[in-house]
Amino acid sequence: MDQQVDLIYILRGLALTVLFVGLIGYERQRRNKIAGLTTHVLVALGAAGLTMVQQHMVQDAILFVRENPDIAAHVNIERQRIVAQIVSGIGFLGTGAIIKTNGYISGLTTASTLWIGAIIGIIFGYGLWELGITLSLLTLFVLTIIKNFFRHMVEDSTH
């Protein structure tokens, strides 16, 4: 997690974010959901970008402490503040995707994919490539294979 935030790190993280969250957004768009490819990618890119800014700020603070050891005890490095705000902020965004009409609620899955898309962006922003890829593939697996499997099971049991 303490990788140097350089151009290669930034490009790799943002490219992986666009690719994998783009696939999730494409799945939502293909199903004509309220938030599609563009929304998912923009949310995830914002999350990845802010996470990279946070990483850069931490690296700067660590360098400052190393150069000024006499004041090190007075410096508080907090790695989680920006990420915590991203997670709660995406919750508000997801609320806009949820619609209730005539006792029927829709948009919960899309709100969830926006949230997990932001989480994937954060993970790639931290440089945790394997975790981001694995979480993305599992999300796609749930959205396609698992969801369809259980949908067919419910339909078969009602006939």
Q: How far apart are CA 136 and CA 128, in angstroms?
A: 12
Q: What is the pLDDT of residue 101?
A: 82
Q: Please write the tens of the pLDDT for every residue from 125-143.
A: 999 999 999 999 999 999 9
Domain layout of the chain by residue ranges:
7-157
Q: What is the pLDDT of residue 100?
A: 79
Q: What is the pLDDT of residue 156?
A: 63
Per-position DSSP letters for 90-107, written without gaps between them: HHHHHHTT-EEETTEEE-
Q: Please write the tens of the pLDDT for every residue from 80-117.
A: 889 999 998 998 888 888 887 888 888 999 999 999 99
Q: Please write the tens of the pLDDT for every residue from 55-84.
A: 999 999 889 999 999 998 888 888 788 999
Question: What's this model's pTM, rounded to 2 decimal places?
Answer: 0.88
Q: What is the pLDDT of residue 133?
A: 98
Residue scoring higher pLDDT (154 or 46): 46
pLDDT tier at 159, thresholds 50, 70, 90: low
